[in-house]
Every structure is written in structure tokens, then in C-alpha cells.
Amino acid sequence: MMRAMRPVIVAANWKMNTTPADAGELAATIAGRIREPGVVRIICPPFVCLAAVGAALAGEEIAVGAQDVHHELAGAYTGDTSAAMLEGLATWVIVGHSERRRDHAETDERISGKLRRAVEAGIRPILCVGEQLDEREAGRAETVVDGQLRGALAGHAPADLQAAGLVIAYEPVWAIGTGRNARGADAAAMAETIRSAIAATGWGGAAANVPVLYGGSVTAANIGEFLAEPSIDGALVGGASLKPDEIAGIVARAGLTANARLAETAAP
């Protein structure tokens, strides 16, 4: 029953792709292909494309998300974007993506600050965690992810994060653009580790309600393997989300999972 209570979510992370001139058209095309009301659908374009995508999605039940947010309210942070700047432009935000950790040396403490700003602003966060290849090969994958979660959630009241609708995206960094693939069983095992770590930070049984997405080179061809796992609740999609056929296939498969969960809930 706990599993059926969790929503099925597909978040499209466009990364550093599209421009204000073409993002709206792409968003409109995708919107026409992913009308699956049982699936929570989010498009996260670059900051400069948020307004264009928002306008293109007017009237659609598809949310707009930002790819990052700054850990301070305002100040001398050239090139950064605060939570207040996202008002009216985004209702979701990705926090702690592996590429931000890698390219901008984001620490768990810094990510915790970003999470705090998102929650304070009423922007629903997708917190990313995941291990590197050497960490997995050393048998430390669960330890690394557990530590990332505890670091990011430190100092946050569980009730605040529950009210904010915290979502976790598990990104096995070694499976992103490397040609190596994670298996559904890998993701499912890590989802259980994630919920156990969250429970240990004071959530208790409420951790079972936290949606966990898979985010490692997701495609229409492999999404079924991950959504077949009861502990996985959707996907954070990168490159495939820029291709209308691919993202349509992913959302369609997510719709099957959402409908199955709804039927399970309604069953006597």
C-alpha cells in the first residue's frame, strides 16, 4: 500500500541545451506527446529558457523545473540564480546533480543549503545522489549514497521536507554517458538504501513515502526494467528528454506503472 501511495514522476533535464528561440517549440512538441495524467511530468530547461518553456506549457498539466538554485538568498554571486528569482518561472528544482558536484565542486553542505532555499521558497526539490565507478567497484556505493543523504538532510526538520514533497533521484554516475548500464536490481537495492538512510535522519516510517527516481542514461528502451521494480517511482531523464519520441516512450511506460498502482490501490 505504501508503494501505491507514491506518485510516478518523469522529470526531463535538458541540461545545457536549447535556447530561448527554440525551447518553447520543443516543449510544445513534447507536451503534445506526453499527455499521461497519471504521471507527474516536469521539464527542466536552462535558466534562460524557463520563461519560454513556461509560456509553451500554458494550459498543460506539465510542470516547469529549474536545474539548480543558489544556497544564499541574494548577494555578490555573479552568474548564479536565487530561489526568489525562480518565482513564477519554476515550481520544481534539481539540487545536487552529479554534474554540479563534479564541475562546481558542490559539497553536501552546500547542497543542503540549496535544499533549504528551495523548501523556504515553496519550490519542490529533486535531490540527486549517486556513486562514482571506483566507489561502486570498491563496494562503497551504499556508504557513499548514505553519506550524501545524511549530509544534505542535516539540519532539516523532517516535517518541513515532507511538506515540501522531497523527491530523491538516484544517479549512478558510472552509468551516465559511459556506455555502462545499471540494472533494475541495482537501482531497486539503492532505493531501499536511500529510504533507510532517510528514515535514520528522523523520518521513521514516513521515509517509505519518499519517491525515488532512477537517473542514469534513461531511454525508452530501458525504462521498463527500472519501472518494473516496485521501489522505483520514475526517472530523471537527460539526453533522451530532448527527443520527443524518446521522452514520449518513457512517459508512456511510466503511465502503465501509474495505472497499475492506481488499480492496486482500488482493489478490495
Q: How far apart are CA 53 and CA 146, in angstroms?
A: 35
**H-assigned helices in 93-243:** 98-104, 108-121, 133-137, 141-153, 158-164, 184-198, 223-227
Q: Active site includes 104?
A: no
Q: How far apart are CA 196 and CA 248, in angstroms?
A: 32
How many Cβ atoms from other residues are within 10 Å of residue 139's Cβ? 8
- In whole angstroms, how far apart are CA 211 and each of 25, 64, 100? 30, 18, 22
Q: How far apart are CA 19 and CA 208, in angstroms?
A: 39
Burial 180-189 (b: 16+ CB within 10 A, else e): eebebebbbe
Closest CA to 171 of 210, 126, 138: 126
Q: How far apart are CA 167 and CA 152, in angstroms?
A: 13
Q: Active site includes 171?
A: yes
Burial 92-109 (b: 16+ CB within 10 A, else e): bbbbbbbbbbeeeebebe
The one catalytic residue in 131, 142, 171, 229 is: 171
The one catalytic residue in 36, 70, 71, 97 is: 97
Q: How far apart are CA 84 and CA 35, in angstroms?
A: 30
Closest CA to 13 of 192, 188, 218: 218
- Active site residues per annotation: 97, 171
